[in-house]
Amino acid sequence: MKTTRIHLSVIQLLIAIMVYLNHDEVEGLSKKDHEALERQLKLLNKPAVKTIKTEYGDIYDCVDFYQQPAFDYPLLKNHTYHPQMKPSLSLLKRNKKSSTSNSSSKIGLKDGGCPMGTVPIRRTTKEDLIRERRFNASYAGGVFHFALEQTINDPNLKISGAGTTSSIYNPKVLPNQWSSSIVKVQNGRDQIQAGWRVDPILYGDTRTRFFSLFKAGTTQCFNTRCPGFVIVNTQIPLDMVFPNPPPGRKFQETFFIQRDLKNGRWWLRS
């Protein structure tokens, strides 16, 4: 009996070691990779003045405005941004035609969001960073299907922004798929996107989330991971989950990407 127990213990230990090794093999991460991710987490997750946990399990840290990740970017070292800043231009005109069964999702953090002088930043986990690596690999070799509307290629046409009103859906996707509804402003290979997205590769779930994507040449980044993306809103963070509408109704949101012609800054507004 003792021999059997010893054998079972050895087998269980071997299984545990194999599971552990296989886990690292699946992730494709070495010890140095893990250490690098830990260092990255320390840089990304700033000290919080207040922490808000959503009903979906996401954690948002209310970070001092001047300590948000954007200001780690060297080119913003001597910036002139401040918590109360606003664009000097008015919003693009909204199309007021809307179905009576549609209403705004009223997306936002509970209890008024973050205190003045702070901004909500979704807390990053090591799993988030690992998924980002997977996403970049899968996105590069993906096959995409689009339904779109675009402007005529006219060199005399000067565009300083665009907007769209989109119904909020939660389409079913496979683990290696994603779906989104976006407004995109593009010049050559450079582009800015904003809207909603369902992406199990990027987020680890199939919820519909508010997102932004920046591309410059072959480089791309999402949300607050983008250098130079300054958060001003204290209640509506990027990565936020859109709630499900009541039966018989639909939620819709308007997304604007617009350039302030006075200073050249781009604004994302919803």
pTM for the full model?
0.79
Task: Show Cβ contacts of residue 18 under 8 Å, excluding neighbours closer than 6 positions.
Answer: none
How, if at all, do strands 102-104 and 250-259 pair? parallel
C-alpha 26/C-alpha 28 separation (Å) is 5
Burial of 65 (0-12, 13-18, 19+ CB in 10 A): buried
Measuring CA to CA, which residue among 256, 255, 251, 246 is closest to residue 99? 251
Domain map (residue ranges) of the chain:
30-86+108-135+157-269
Question: Comparing C-alpha atoms, which of 185, 212, 187 is closest to residue 197?
Answer: 212
Edge to edge, the sheet with strand 208-216 lists 179-187, 190-198, 208-216, 219-222
pLDDT in tens, the chain (270 residues): 444 444 444 434 344 433 333 344 335 678 888 899 999 899 899 999 999 999 999 999 999 999 998 898 888 878 888 888 887 766 555 555 544 456 677 789 998 899 999 999 999 999 998 888 777 655 555 556 666 667 777 778 777 888 999 999 999 999 988 999 999 988 888 899 999 999 998 999 999 999 999 988 888 889 988 877 899 999 999 999 999 888 888 899 999 999 888 888 889 988
Structure tokens of 232?
Answer: 């001003």
**Phi, psi at 241, each rounded to 5°:** -80, 135
How far is C-alpha 267 from the geometric centre of its chain's CA atoms?
Answer: 16
